[in-house]
Amino acid sequence: MKEIERYYRVLGLEVGASLEEINEAYRDLAFIWHPDRLPKNNDRLLAKAMAKLQEINHAREQLKTHQIVSHPSKTVSVPRQKPSTYPHSGYSRNQAQRPYYRDWSGADLKGANLKEKDLSGRKLIKADLSYADLSDTFLHKINLEEANLFRANLFRANLLRANLRSANLQQVNLVGADLSGADLSEADLTGAKVGSGNRIMVKLTGTILKGATLPDGSVHD
């Protein structure tokens, strides 16, 4: 419980704050500490900002998980989309309307606004998420194998232990994203935005990059 209390303090909140208050505090702090607001030639300050962003991102994730476990009846699912948003073969109208339906393989989500949604554990194999807004989205253990994320916005997204094997991540925005433990084998990250200047602003602890095409066009061996 002491650890949970510490996460509330990181976000400047009282213990027991609502999920809405947690997300609001996170957005405020993320805005304050965003590296784009800082001088690009101040490496010390940029490093401090990245560390702070990772700290508040981790705090929010832990508090969201804590709230889901403690108050499962109060959690909110991804809002129902219009059936026409998922016009692919094998994905029925009824499935699109189930709030907890977890298999969206092959779904057409091009340009979808999924900002701050919790899609953890969902299956989106070969889904089209090109140009989608996935900023601040919780994508823990999501399966995006062979998915198309061309020019998607994954700013500050949590992709902890996500499956992104052979995914198209060309020109995607990954600044502030957490890819710890994610599998990006054979993924294409050509032109992906991963930082500011020469500073990498993506968390890659334990990330698998075997055979992945890196932002500069080189292939990771």
Q: Which residues pair with 183 in a beta bridge?
A: 163, 208
pLDDT at 90: 38
User: Which residues are within 8 A (CB) of 158 and not within 5 positions of it... i.e. 6 or more apart?
Assistant: 57, 61, 137, 138, 139, 140, 177, 178
pLDDT at 71: 59
Q: Which residues pair with 108 in a beta bridge?
A: 128
pLDDT at 95: 38
d(CA 195, CA 200): 4
Output helix, strand, coil percentages for the chain, rounded to the nearest 5: 30, 10, 60
Please give the model's pTM, rounded to 2 decimal places.
Answer: 0.59
Instruction: Tell me the domain boundaries of the chain.
Output: 2-73, 87-221
Q: 122's torsion region: left (phi>0), alpha (psi -120 to 50) or beta?
A: beta
pLDDT at 87: 36
User: What's the per-residue H, E or C state across 154-172?
Assistant: CCCCECCCCECCCCECCCC
Which CATH number applies to 87-221: 2.40.10.220, 2.40.50.360, 3.40.50.970, 2.160.20.80?
2.160.20.80
For the structural domain made of 2-73, what CATH number should be given? Answer: 1.10.287.110
The low-confidence residues of the chain, meaning pLDDT below 50, are 74-101
pLDDT at 43: 83
For 1-60, what is each residue's pLDDT tens digit? 688 899 999 999 988 888 888 888 888 888 788 776 677 788 888 888 888 888 988 888
d(CA 32, CA 169): 28
